[in-house]
Amino acid sequence: MIRSMTGFGTADGRVGAARVTVEVRTVNHRFFSPSLKLPAPLARWESEVREALRQRVARGHVTLMARHERDAQEARGGLAIDEARFAGYVAQLRALAERHGIADTLDVATVLRLPDVITTDATPEPEGTAEELLAIVDRAGAALTAMREDEGRRLAVVLLERIAIVEAALARIAARAPERLTEQRDRLRTAVQELVENVKVDDQRLAQEIAILADRLDVNEELDRFRSHITAFRAALSDAGADQVGKRLGFLLQEMLREANTTGSKANDAAMLHDVVLVKEELERIREQVENVE
């Protein structure tokens, strides 16, 4: 079953001591176009994350955003009080207060605000592993794929409905084509007789002209090729193992439009031209939907 290029997936888990939430969104694009937004602690694994996405998404603009949240206790773990410096400040402040006759109103908060009393530990080594992050990315990707496949099933129904409308129009064109040739032959024969009036007409030459006209107006080859493209279109929709079905469907639509244009140029008949216009309108609607197929 085909996949849509539009989808969303999310998952969360732990990478080291932190909780990480990953969101993946995709929209249609001709090629694989990733955009990753990783917080600083996870940025070193950007290439691994990009490759993981590439394994799941063949075409589409992919936006991945990750949130990194450390536990409150862990977040405070990097702070420390330099007790020796704290004691030194207290001793100096009390000595100054006594020397200058200032009331001793010293409190802890005042001392803690002095330079270098509160320090941070040296930057800890990054925690967690690439495997932990990729496991979260994989779960988000699985949710994304499920949504894209679900949307793909709905797209396939719409495409099959539209292609059935095209087939019905082709059947009407095929049924009308021989009638149109007979009418054109009779019209040509009548026009020649009116022009020459009482002059005898060379029936063999007239037959040759009618044969040339019939060949020029014949659309059987175009209709046969059109039907073969529709067969290939249906096969591509049902091929679960096909890769990048959207590109193949787009190519087949181009070929169908080519046959529709040629049929229209040969039609020379109001009823046939009406159905040719209908076919081209439906092909345009199908093309708009196929642009969102992976």
Beta-carbon contacts of 83 under 8 Å, excluding residues fewer than 6 positions away, are none
Q: Check: CATH 3.30.230 for 7-72+131-146?
A: yes
Tell me the pLDDT tens digit for each residue of 244-292. 799 999 999 999 999 999 999 888 889 999 999 999 999 999 999 999 9
The structural domains of the chain, with segments of one domain joined by +, span: 7-72+131-146, 79-120, 150-290
Q: Pick the residue with more confidence: 192 or 5?
A: 5
- pLDDT tens, residue by residue, 62-86: 999 999 987 554 544 556 788 888 8
**What is the spatial distance between Cα 198 and Cα 240, in angstroms, rounded to a whole number?**
69
Strands across the sheet containing 32-37: 7-15, 18-27, 60-70, 32-37
Measured in whole angstroms, the distance separating CA 154 from the mean position of its chain's CA atoms is 15
CB atoms closer than 10 angstroms to residue 121: 9
Q: Residue 48 — very low, low, confident or very high, per pLDDT cuts 50/70/90?
A: very high
Residues in the chain: 294
* Span 2-34, pLDDT tens digits: 899 999 999 999 998 899 999 999 999 989 999
